[in-house]
A = this chain, B = another copy of it.
Amino acid sequence: MKKFINHVDTLLDESLRGFAKAHADLVEVSFNPRFVRRRAVTPGKVALISGGGAGHEPLHTGFVGKGMLDAACPGQIFTSPTPDQMLAAAGAVAGDQGVLFIVKNYAGDVMNFEMAAEMLDCPTRTVLVQDDIALPKEHDIGRRGVAGTTIVEKIVGAAAEEGRSLDDLKALGDRVAENTASIGVALSGCHVPALGGPTFELPPDKIEFGVGIHGEHGREITEFASATEIVKRMAEAIDEELQPKRGDRVLLHVNGLGATTLMELYLVYEVAHEFWCQEGVEITRSLVGNYTTALDMAGCSITLTRLDDEMIRLWDAPVHTAALRWGC
């Protein structure tokens, strides 16, 4: 699989250098250890720091800026960042109010963010995002964190910008995470540059239902079908989990995994929208596009977040990052 790269070992840094220059008004990038920070940190606020393996861009580096993250620590592709990155990022952006880590539930990420939290001498809390309902709730490593992370980071980021306390933000983050459910479908595997070939192969008539954002196995390999059938099945899985009631207000996020066209993503949105409209659920906010990718995987995920007044207000609050921007 051809890619625009020079060398597997330099890809991440060369890409981050371009990112830093393209968004020089917004971010600064440190390389040793690696982190992306907001150029202008609002004084006196809790610092919001996230991170994880690269390959999911714009998550998380594209969400650094006003009203969202103060810093993001990228690991190598599909590889957890290390505690020295979180420590350096905290050193650069955190003040007396402490640090809230937003962490997707993968063993390496959890362990490394925990180590950083223990080593920091300011107050810290962690919101663990585990929105991927492909695995059962009682799965021994828990559920994976996927596209719902964007929703958590946006809403908590807006609250942090208002100067809310660390405990407040932790409670809010948990509330958003608990009210968020996602499921993904792959039509193809993705190509990790270091591997050369695809992470997995699917026959022409099969899809991976419940795929993870690194190409992890989901619920099952099942028959390819019409978009309406696939999306209905995705929506039913989310609906069963979250059980939104008639009149509930929700945010519907259709996320592309990398190689799926915007035409298809809007079609997926249309089918999912119809599904919940027929249930009397009110889709009051939407996000359609590539936000949590899995390199060049063909596929998409659907995320639903049950909203309350506060969450809606915070979703609408101004944000200025490379990947999400409004009101600024």
Contact = CB atoms under 8 A, between A and B. Distances in A.
Contacts of A4: 187, 227, 230-231, 260, 264-265, 267-268, 300
B261 A55 contact: yes
Contact of A273 (B21, B62, B288): B21
B326 A11 contact: no
Contacts of A268: 4, 18
Contact of A266 (B22, B290, B326): B22
Contact of A298 (B2, B14, B261, B264): B2
A295 interface: yes
Interface string A164-190: 000000000000000000000001100
Given A19-B266, A22-B266, A261 B2 contact: no
A77 B262 CA distance: 13
Contacts of A296: 259-261, 298
A57 interface: yes
A262 B12 CA distance: 11
A328 interface: yes
B269 A58 contact: no
A278 interface: no
A245 interface: no
A3 interface: yes
A204 to B, nearest CB: 7
From A226, A227, A300, name the one whose CB has the most chain B CB atoms within 10 angstroms.
A227
Interface in A192-222: 204, 207
Interface string A1-30: 011111100011011111101110000000
Contact of A5 (B21, B204, B264, B290): B264
A161 B288 CA distance: 27
Chain A interface mostly:
mixed
A126 interface: no
A250 to B, nearest CB: 13
A308 B199 CA distance: 47
Contacts of A207: 2
A221 to B, nearest CB: 13
A270 interface: yes
Nearest to A10: B267
B228 A21 contact: no
Given A14-B271, A18-B288, 17 more contacts: A5-B226, A6-B267, A11-B263, A11-B267, A14-B267, A14-B270, A15-B266, A18-B266, A18-B270, A18-B273, A62-B262, A258-B261, A259-B298, A262-B290, A263-B295, A290-B290, A325-B325
16 contacts: A2-B187, A2-B188, A4-B187, A4-B267, A4-B268, A6-B228, A7-B226, A15-B270, A18-B268, A18-B270, A19-B269, A21-B270, A62-B262, A261-B293, A261-B295, A326-B328
